[in-house]
Amino acid sequence: MGILTYYDILTPSAIILLSYLVLLIFFSFRAYLRGNSAVKQFLIAISCLMASVVGELVLLLLPFMTLLNALILNLGIVAFGTVLLRQVLVLVMKFVERKGKEEYLLSLAHTDGLTGLSNRRAFEERMDGIRKCSRLIHPIGLMVFDVNDLKMLNDKEGHAAGDALLREVARQLSRWFAQTGDVYRIGGDEFAMICDPCNTASYESIRKEIASDMLVRAKDPARFSLAFGEALFTPNGEFVSIDEVFAEADARMYRHKMEMKNGFVR
């Protein structure tokens, strides 16, 4: 009646599929010869599928049905999928490993090895981000700290003692600003904190807490003390740039340091 049955189209379909697979293998093999080793697993997968199609085609051309009809093709499809799945998993694992290494190296580049705080590079990048803001929409607080008598400690007890002191300072600053801002080690004995966005009430509370703590520490030679200065960058405030804010905080820190040396502690 001129109507094609399912079995009538199996053979031509297998031939078309086989031709397509041959082309895929040809172009993949050419890419492999040119140095693209990533196609190796794809070549193996395609070869498995093509072998199953050839086997299926041979069975279809036989004048009688066998129990192997479709089984070979199904096995080839399973092998094809298994090889490709394995390759996908390998590529995913390599991608995750590479991203992990990149993030680790990036973290190392922005972390101070002694204290574990963010380093000067991270601080400058944060400052650059603030500089690039076209309009200030919320206050930004900035504090600068300098460890008193670090050089004296290094000379008297050695650099190991000085390093231990810097780590202690880093821990204390991290506790103070755990919920307020980000702490950076920006020099040998200098630290900075950026509060962005800054809740002025919380910022003022922390500032008073630090000032009070410095009064207590000034009376105990066994404890470290810090000179610090701070400034607020506010919309429509007295400072026009974050660099002016940093310069003011730095100047206040040095004034505080001189006051402490002269016996005045605020």
3-state secondary structure string across the chain: CCCCCHHHHHHHHHHHHHHHHHHHHHHHHHHHHCCCHHHHHHHHHHHHHHHHHHHHHHHHHCCCCCCCCCHHHHHHHHHHHHHHHHHHHHHHHHHHHHHHHHHHHHHHHCECCCCCCECHHHHHHHHHHHHCCCCCCCCEEEEEEEECCHHHHHHHHCHHHHHHHHHHHHHHHHHHCCCCCEEEECCCCEEEEEECCCCHHHHHHHHHHHHHHHHHHHCCCCCCCEEEEEEEECCCCCCCCHHHHHHHHHHHHHHHHHHHHCCCCC
Same domain (yes/no): 207, 92: no
Of 109, 128, 162, which residue constitutes the final position of a domain?
109
Same domain (yes/no): 148, 224: yes
Same domain (yes/no): 128, 170: yes
Does the pLDDT of residue 70 top 90, yes or no?
no
Higher pLDDT, 54 or 189: 189
The whole-model pTM stands at 0.62
Where in the sequence is the domain holding 184, given as residue range(s)?
120-261
Q: Is residue 179 part of a domain?
A: yes
Count of structural domains within the chain? 2
Same domain (yes/no): 224, 167: yes
Same domain (yes/no): 67, 164: no
What is the percentage of the chain residues whose pLDDT exceeds 90?
A: 26
Mean pLDDT of the chain: 83
Looking from the CA of 28 toward its CB, the CA atoms found within 13 Å total 16
Same domain (yes/no): 167, 230: yes
Same domain (yes/no): 27, 154: no
pLDDT digit string, tens, across residues 103-137: 776 667 889 989 999 999 999 999 999 998 878 88
pLDDT at 8: 66
pLDDT digit string, tens, across residues 220-245: 666 778 888 999 998 888 888 999 99
What is the percentage of the chain residues whose pLDDT exceeds 70?
A: 87
Q: Is residue 266 part of a domain?
A: no
Q: Is residue 142 part of a domain?
A: yes
pLDDT at 120: 93
Same domain (yes/no): 125, 257: yes
Same domain (yes/no): 216, 191: yes
Does the pLDDT of residue 23 top 80, yes or no?
yes
Q: Is residue 1 part of a domain?
A: no
Does the pLDDT of residue 153 top 90, yes or no?
no
Which CATH number goes with the domain that contains 240?
A: 3.30.70.270
Residue range 50-56: mean pLDDT, rounded: 81
Q: Is residue 38 part of a domain?
A: yes
Of 109, 139, 159, which residue constitutes the final position of a domain?
109
